[in-house]
Amino acid sequence: MGFFRRWVSPVGSSGFGSSSTAEQVTEGIDASHLTAIVTGGTSGIGKETARVLALRGARVIIPARTPEGGAEVKESLLRENPQARIDVMEMDLSSLSSVASFASRFCASSQPLHILINNGGIMACPFQLSRDGVELQFATNHLGHFLLTNLLLEKMKATAREAGIQGRIVSVSSAAHRRSDATWFDLDKINNRSDYKPFAVAYARSKLANILHANELSRRLQEEKADVTANSLHPGLIQTNLFRYLALNAVTRSLVSLVTPFFKTVPQGAATTCYLALHPGVRDVSGKYFSDCNEVTPTSYATDGELAKKLWAFSEGLVEKLFKST
């Protein structure tokens, strides 16, 4: 069903569906008083998300691995919208020290932070370890975002208190989380090269982690009565450079080419992210999982509160351990 979702998914209770675009779901919304960070904003649905948020008036900060790549993206966005407020800051999501440096620089600035979009990621790459010695997909897709969110959280809560505007944290997950179970909460298992399956194990694991992280974050924020929400989403199947590793294999390259006509466009792929970031219809909605701009139900693992707490403790301990070893 997932491959054909673009064509058969009806408009849901939100008034939007699989064919809705990021511009359509944010039409008429004034975001000129908001500041957002969009990870992975240099390409694909992240770039489209940054473009549409800026189109609605938001100041958008795009973390980029290299200053050159960031400058190129900023220039292209400004060519289309000269009034766009786009800033680029250097950050490598797969490196904990780089993430910490970015967060420190941002928090030291006078800028508020209303929206954090954890969008950046990598999919189905050959086995690699990050600079910190963690399997690259888990390091990039989950651990980098876990640290980034924690380091920016006080800034977001302070902004919400001072501005009286609810903060929003949006994590881009995937329906691929359905392939993952709860048997991998051990660094040796995550880093087990002999058992490495790029998509079905490693990518799926990181995407389940995205949902669990958002859910536990939401629980903690509600417990302390912070005016910040946290939700996760499946953007749909979109032909972006995330598929570059799958295309290395002749069989998967043929498969991707066959199903590409059923994929969403990039503007459609960014719709649910932009909906959760800006739409008034999701005010006070937190700890939920969305697809096609409507709430849907993920797997039982993804909704397991105890598992979410376990992941938080595991991630926290791992970050602390890795920082001590550097």
For 74, the token pair is: 């900023």
For 131, the token pair is: 């600079």
| Radius of gyration of the chain, Cα coordinates, nearest whole angstrom | 18
For 169, the token pair is: 């944290």
Question: H or E element: which one contains 38?
Answer: strand 35-38
187/176 Cα distance (integer angstroms): 21
Read off the amino acid at residue 153.
Answer: L
45/59 Cα distance (integer angstroms): 18
Angle between helices 305-325 and 96-108 (to 10 degrees): 90
Q: What are phi and psi of 25, to 5 degrees?
A: -75, -10
Which candidate, 110, 39, 106, 51, places its Cα nearest to that of 81?
A: 51
Q: Maximum Cα–Cα distance for the chain, whole Å?
A: 54
Question: H or E element: which one contains 317?
Answer: helix 305-325
In order, the DSSP letters of 16-82 are --TT--HHHHTTT---TT-EEEETTTTSHHHHHHHHHHHHTT-EEEEEESSHHHHHHHHHHHHHH-T
Out of 196, 203, 245, 301, the active site residue is 196
The gap from C-alpha 162 to its chain's centroid, in whole angstroms, comes to 26
Q: Is 196 a catalytic residue?
A: yes
DSSP 249: S
Which candidate, 225, 200, 185, 189, places its Cα nearest to that of 310?
A: 185
51/47 Cα distance (integer angstroms): 6
Q: What are phi and psi of 301, to 5 degrees?
A: -65, -40
Residues with catalytic function: 196
